[in-house]
Amino acid sequence: MAIIAMIGRTAGVFLLGATVGAAQRPAARACHSAAPTAAGVVVWGGAQACGVGVLSDSVLWRWDGVRWQALPGPPIPPREDALLAPFGDDLVLIGGRRDGRVASDVWRFDGARWRRVDAAGGPGPIEHGAVAYDPVRRRVVVFGGAVGRTFDAKTYEFDGTRWSAFDVAGPAPRVGHGMAWSAADGGVLLYGGFREDSFRDLWRWDGRRWERLAADGPTPTEGHVVAEAADGILIVGPGLDGGGAVRAWQWRQGAFHPIGPAGPPLLIGATATFDRGRAALVLWGGRAEGGPPSDAIHELGAQGWRRIEPTP
């Protein structure tokens, strides 16, 4: 499994659920949602294992590099595998899955309240897709995903109130891929994923068309897998030899560059999200095959990988 994260700017973090005072940190989980904000990294929802045991706390948490904070979030039941993205200073939540049912609803947080956005023309029920925010064109971009054996190859953009659909040539239908904004490349980049086989291709979306930038990347991917960086994007995964630890690469100036030594163990359903304010990639959650879910925090910064114990 690989992990890539995307980056953006959002005003604060908010948690779903009526009770936010008792817990000091989120419970261990996998297949949760994650997004960057101006004040840190946000995680929400998830399950004991991908497809098994959706959590009941429905809380969205913020990690600022020192401690977790729980705040009120959207008024919907918790779910796993929802798409969560910044939208300027807002947050957008799309779809997800609970008890075998795949959702299609869209929620937007404007800094004061969450509201449901009823807009036609979107991807409909969606799970296993990928999302990124284009801050120049102010659009949330969605690609891929599948419900059962039905894969979607269209590209969708959300401007905050309306959806636009693009049925254009580009990446093959897939799940397990990641997307992130790259200022250096002037568009949203998509990497990896799988269908019958793994993909290691890299594509750029400019609002009108897809362009393939590379065919053979350094790692397969599965999950929340692409992160915006100061220059290009970050990719985290097992590498081509399928080792047991995560490794990181940076796409910049038309090539993939390895970053630092191998990191913590690979976990299924973990998320990696870049905290621009601290220039750190935050790896959280996930589950080892046959084991319990994790609540460990690992960060990749200038000094390499390190495990962090939150301040109570």
Classified as helix, coil or strand, 295 is: coil
Please say whether the beta carbons of 90 and 110 come within 8 A. yes
Q: What is the pLDDT along the chain (312 residues), one digit of tens a residue?
A: 444 333 333 333 333 333 444 468 999 999 999 999 888 999 999 999 999 999 987 788 999 999 999 877 788 889 999 999 999 999 999 999 998 899 999 999 887 788 999 988 999 999 999 999 999 999 999 999 988 888 988 999 999 999 999 999 999 999 999 999 999 999 999 999 999 899 999 999 999 999 999 999 999 998 887 888 888 999 999 999 888 899 999 999 999 999 989 999 999 999 999 998 898 999 999 999 889 999 999 999 888 999 998 876
In which residue are the tokens 């002037």 written? 186
In which residue are the tokens 């449901």 written? 116
CA distance 116 to 87: 15
Any alpha helices (H) in the chain, and if so which ranges?
none
Any alpha helices (H) in 19-74, and if so which ranges?
none
CATH of 33-308, one of 2.60.40.10, 3.30.720.120, 2.120.10.80, 1.20.950.20: 2.120.10.80
What type of residue sits at position 16?
Answer: L
CA distance 51 to 98: 8
CA distances from 168 to 108, 146, 193 (A): 27, 18, 19
Q: Are strands 155-158 and 114-116 parallel, antiparallel or unpaired?
A: unpaired
pTM of structure: 0.90
Please say whether the beta carbons of 145 and 129 come within 8 A. yes
